[in-house]
A = this chain, B = another copy of it.
Amino acid sequence: MAIILGDNQYGKAESRIVRIVRDSPRHEIRDLNVTTALRGPFEPAYLVGDQSNVLPTDTQKNTAYAFTKSKGVESIEQYGLDLARHFVHEIDPVEGARIEIEEFAWERAVVDGTEHDHTWLRKGQEVRTAAVTVDSSGEYVIGGLKDLVLLKSTGSEFAGFLKDEYTTLPETHDRVMATALDAKWRFSSLDVDWNAVYPTIKALMVTEFATLQSLALQQTLWHMGTAVMEEFPFIAEVRLKAPNKHHFDYDIGRFGVENHGEVFFASDRAYGLIEATLIRDDAPPAGEAWRASAGLA
């Protein structure tokens, strides 16, 4: 009846790296938050404090910074693959690497009607994400976005739902629907034009959110996911997590002011939370693609 070490990993979280490409007067910027984690025979570090297999997290950070120049950041997916392969193939005891990257978008400042060469405003919308895993079983890439805040002021219903003794919610055929979308998609190929795919996925999701007469946020998510998977055959799976950011009609009729879906209280908490996975029935196995941590979300 022994206690054993199960799943484990270690790494450096949230290295904030800004990479400026200045090979010409028109600079480019990539603004990253990089997390690396290594997997392998690290039991001695836990059981007896033996670090001989442990590449310091500080070293992982140094590598992440250096690679933004020596390998470049053509896309966060490619950069993640470069980093993960390095750790697995070049560092002897390392058996697996997980690289998670957030990218913050910037837009060029406009001066006298022209985009400026070396000045940007933080764009502030959704964060683009990538999660890359490399180990002896293969190479896995997940793309994604998070905190894409969407709102529609009509074209959303919620009715015909199950009722029990605790149900007081009225049915509605016209409400505000708003969310802060968190989406991830698993690629079944590595031969992808990563930077071309991303804006199309975002546009498809926004279009479905806007145009579907929604009977439930669940239905909207399903349409967003299928639109993406129908467009890109190399996307095997889409996972979606969407808070239902409630906007409650504020009762100003008490004061003689009509409110026909015009004045809302935007609530912070509690919020609905809808989660769904869409997958092709012939998708290759996910393998290690989705394993982010050693057990704790």
A-B interface, 8 closest residue pairs, ranked by CB to CB distance from nearest: A49-B215, A124-B124, A122-B149, A275-B294, A6-B277, A119-B210, A51-B161, A239-B295
| Residue A52 is within 8 A (CB to CB) of chain B in the complex | yes
Neighbour of A62 across the interface among B54, B161, B255, CB < 8 A: B255
Chain B residues near A109 (CB-CB < 8 A): 150, 206-207, 209-210
A29 vs chain B, min Cβ distance (A): 7
A244/B2 in contact, CB under 8 A: no
Query: Bound state CA distance, A297 and B272, in angstroms?
Result: 16
B121/A49 in contact, CB under 8 A: no
A66 vs chain B, min Cβ distance (A): 4
Question: Can you identify 11 A-B contacts, CB atoms within 8 angstroms?
Answer: A3-B230, A14-B269, A15-B269, A18-B151, A29-B151, A35-B273, A58-B168, A63-B166, A109-B207, A109-B210, A122-B125
A274 vs chain B, min Cβ distance (A): 5
Chain B residues near A261 (CB-CB < 8 A): 20, 22
Query: Bound state CA distance, A116 and B211, in angstroms?
Result: 9
Number of A interface residues in the complex (CB < 8 A) = 152
Query: Bound state CA distance, A86 and B171, in angstroms?
Result: 24
A44 vs chain B, min Cβ distance (A): 9
Chain B residues near A297 (CB-CB < 8 A): 292-293, 297
A272/B13 contact (C-beta < 8 A), A51-B162, A109-B209, A162-B55 known = yes
B243/A13 in contact, CB under 8 A: yes
Give chain A interface residues in 106-133, CB to chain B under 8 Å.
106, 109-112, 116, 118-125
| Residue A4 is within 8 A (CB to CB) of chain B in the complex | yes
Give chain A interface residues in 265-283, CB to chain B under 8 Å.
265-282
B10/A273 in contact, CB under 8 A: yes
A47 vs chain B, min Cβ distance (A): 6
Query: Bound state CA distance, A14 and B258, in angstroms?
Result: 23
Chain B residues near A266 (CB-CB < 8 A): 16-18, 31
Please name the residue on chain B nearest to A162 by beta carbon. B55
A168/B254 in contact, CB under 8 A: yes
A115 vs chain B, min Cβ distance (A): 10
A121 vs chain B, min Cβ distance (A): 6
A59/B10 contact (C-beta < 8 A), A3-B226, A296-B184 known = no
Chain B residues near A70 (CB-CB < 8 A): 252, 257
Please name the residue on chain B nearest to A14 by beta carbon. B269
Give chain A interface residues in 1-59, CB to chain B under 8 Å.
1-22, 27, 29, 31, 35, 37, 42, 45-59
Please name the residue on chain B nearest to A4 by beta carbon. B281
Neighbour of A49 across the interface among B17, B19, B219, CB < 8 A: B219
Chain B residues near A254 (CB-CB < 8 A): 62, 168
A232 vs chain B, min Cβ distance (A): 12
A264/B18 in contact, CB under 8 A: yes
| Residue A218 is within 8 A (CB to CB) of chain B in the complex | yes
